[in-house]
Chains A and B, each alone.
Chain A
Amino acid sequence: MNNKTKKILHSSEFYVGVIIILFGLLIQMRSGQFFTGNNLVDILRSFTIPVMFCMGELMVLISGGVDCSFPAIASLSMFVVCKYMENVTTNPLPFFLVAALIGLVFGILNGVIIGKYRFPALIVTLGTSSICWGVMQGVFQSREYPLCPALLSVGKAKLLTATNAETGLSSELPMITIFMVLLLTWFILNKTMLGRGIYAIGGDIIAAKRAGFNVFGTTVFIYAFSGMMAGIIGVFRACMLQAVHPNNLEGLEMTAIAACVLGGVSITGGKGTVLQACLGMALLTIVSNSLILLGISTHWQNVVTGIIIIAGTAATAIQNQRNAKKLAVKLTES
């Protein structure tokens, strides 16, 4: 076996991929409905939004932080633009731009605090998250709100193709958007010095500073990117759902973190790829979407998710512990 295949066989992507395929086959055997166009489109639909959120989270995790605030930022920007811009314009683009701007502001707030003071990112983003929910519910008195016509058309454009071609994966708009978001993240992480800087910070922050990376600037960028993406994805989600649901993104931060970690992204920073985050999210989505196909009540959904998170993280943890304990003195052969 050459080195390259060995590396692939030992990668977490390989394992998660195998598990996804096995799981798919299992569901197919039990219900015969996994590999149907309907089911796959369904899974893809519920995969779309979370996986895009995962991209921001991925960047943050690689840098050694964590971001719990994007659901709040997404909900706030989504609600504000949908409510206050409905009579301003019929062009959907400004909606996305303004939402991105709102997200950017909160993202920068996160980035500046974490970059300057190096407080635990979990705690800081929990704080900004609370502020965002409070602003949305208190200042803007959020509630379920009908989607304005400008955005309805955006959502419809895609919905039509999805329902028309029941068997195909031709739901173009979400496909293109996901593709663009993933490509953008991949490009930043792998093809720019900024992206290398994110890995460098996650690997050794002091070394990154000495090497000449702008650590503060990069940190601000990471959280700003996560916030901005949250704003855009928030509006996008409203388009997909054809209504403004200000509260039901709550808890998605945990799903995104769990997905990244399951895929093999390191919680301590420095390691992770777009593919890993996607596979992790795919696994979580497939499992939670397939319970019904397996004849299990949806009440069990959180239990199953919890078990997957624990099992997935435990596998890595046990391996790490074993490596740490392993002694490596080369004894003379007797």
Chain B
Amino acid sequence: MSDYIIRAKGIKKYFGGVKALDGVDLEIKKGEVHCLAGENGCGKSTIINVISGFYTPDGGELEIDGVSYSKMTPQQSIAAGIQVIYQDLSVFPNLTVMENLALNMELASGKKFVSKKRFREIAEEAVAKINFEIDLDEKVENLSVADKQLIAISRALLNNAKLIIMDEPTTAITKKEVRALFHVIRDLQKQNIAILFVSHKLDEVFEIAERFTIFRNGKNTGAGDASELTQEKFTYYMTSREIKETPFIYEEKPGAKKVLEVKNLNLKNGFKNVNLSLGEGEILGITGLLGSGRTELVQALFGYHKADSGEIYIRGNKVEINTVKDGIKNGIGYVPPERIVEGVFLPQSIKENISIEKWDEWAGPLGIMNEKKIETVVNEWVEKLHIKLHDINDPMNTLSGGNQQKCVLAKWLILDLNVLILNGPTVGVDIGAKFDIYELVKKLAAGGLSVIIISDDIPEILSNCNRVVVMRRGEIVKEGLTKDMDEASLAEFAVAD
């Protein structure tokens, strides 16, 4: 018997000419919480697929619980006690909790027919493992993300799991739910189950992990005890860049007019009595839990929702913002949180994605597209924002997440904006690119643009904004300068009841 549940040495995996994994090592001890980190495309998901038997490695040694495998099927991996909880959780929204819990087991044991009785027994056993209380007959689509996650975890435990791989489990849940999740993870650890925890968030790594492994470009860049990590080391291993954040310093110019003022804005089931102001060149952070009304508020400023009552002033003039068109006309730009679904036209060209808001203005008679102007201006912005690309006629989906996000910024910066609203601007963006984006935003603010940033990540808000508001139950519960605030008290305001 080995001390290690997983010992992977020199694993290689090639796709065509691309080296997804170029000889990486990963060792996980039994019953430990191990963190795996790295930027997008570093090989994290490839190694997960190798361990779970979906990919056959092109080289290296893989040993699970002391048994070495040269070729492994997903079934063998499950039999050896490996379970993966994917980021999308892999649950069936249209089926009941009971079915979601029992189906995998029943399939694995080769059952051909359905027995409600057996299903229920399995499901009850599964939820009992983590003391999870839930109505087994509820459809999964009616549950919260956190509950779905617990379903995925209980399901994983059914197969006598010895290692559970969690792929970025904390991105879609609130701080409170993260705490509950960590509680579950510690419980599992007591049962001698190892956890491979994939995450970018250093504070989480500190809190939960004992050891860490970091990849970059399909190679190991760092490994060791989590307690030895510092923010600088962590980012250096991930990016091989020394990244030093400069705090944002804002000096209010005397007599400057407020760019945006919101008075008593109300929206049913959205927010109430919101008063807000934003000066020229200010970066305002809005934080709060999911469902605190923060997204509804900024979407109302942008015109995606129409506020029920209240007033909005842009540079001192009262404006009506009822549609997105109105929002854009008043110089408000909005970068939505789910970039892939809401932020870009993935299969369309970069050029079109960036220039879209100017088409009508530049169009010739009969609405003919002004291709020449579009190309020149797009090229200018690509250069200005250092967007890495081959050709502006390539489709958007050829770019990395960070570069896509820069294109979205370019799309709004082409307009002469009053206020740029960034909702979760760095979700799914690498640390390096995240840094670039914030540096860019700070530069824009220094040039006079007013920015609103919505984020869960309180340290991110503290270091990049000069002022912050906290929302809870649709109301602003705290407002102040970031230099007077600290992380713990802000988090308290967000969750306090």
Contacts and interface: CB of A to CB of B under 8 A. Distances in A.
Interface of A: 190-196, 199-200, 202-204, 206-208, 210-213, 270-271, 326-332, 334
Contacts of B74: 212
A188 to B, nearest CB: 10
Interface string B212-232: 000000000000000000000
Contact of A329 (B93, B113, B292): B292
Contact of B112 (A194, A204, A326, A329): A194
B112 A212 contact: no
A192 B104 CA distance: 14
Interface stretch (B238-246, B263-271, B344-352): B263-271
A203 B114 contact: no
B104 A327 contact: no
A328 B291 contact: yes
A206 B54 CA distance: 13
A195 B293 contact: no
Given A195-B114, A212-B104, A212-B108, A331 B473 contact: yes
29 contacts: A191-B113, A193-B107, A193-B111, A193-B113, A193-B114, A199-B94, A199-B95, A200-B92, A202-B94, A203-B93, A204-B91, A206-B88, A208-B92, A210-B84, A210-B86, A210-B90, A212-B75, A270-B92, A326-B269, A328-B269, A328-B291, A329-B270, A329-B271, A329-B293, A329-B296, A330-B291, A330-B473, A331-B473, A334-B272
Contact of B107 (A207, A211, A331): A211
B308 to A, nearest CB: 11
Contacts of A331: 269, 271-272, 293, 473-475
Interface residues of B, number: 35
Given A193-B113, A196-B99, A270 B94 contact: yes
A5 to B, nearest CB: 15
Contacts of A192: 112-114
Q: Is the interface of B mostly helix, strand, loop or mixed?
A: loop
A208 B107 CA distance: 11
B106 interface: yes
B175 interface: no
A74 B111 CA distance: 33
B90 A204 contact: yes
Contacts of B291: 328-330
Contact of B92 (A191, A193, A207, A327): A207
A327 B475 contact: no
A204 B93 contact: yes
A190 B74 CA distance: 27
Interface in B63-91: 74-75, 84, 86, 88, 90-91
B103 interface: yes
B268 A327 contact: yes
Contacts of A194: 112
Which of B92, B106, B292, B296 lies at the interface centre, i.e. has the most chain A CB atoms within 10 A of its CB? B92
B72 to A, nearest CB: 15
A200 B91 CA distance: 9
B2 to A, nearest CB: 27
Given A203-B92, A211-B90, A213-B107, A327 B296 contact: yes
A332 B472 CA distance: 9
Contacts of A193: 103, 106-107, 111-114
Contacts of B475: 331-332
A200 B103 CA distance: 9
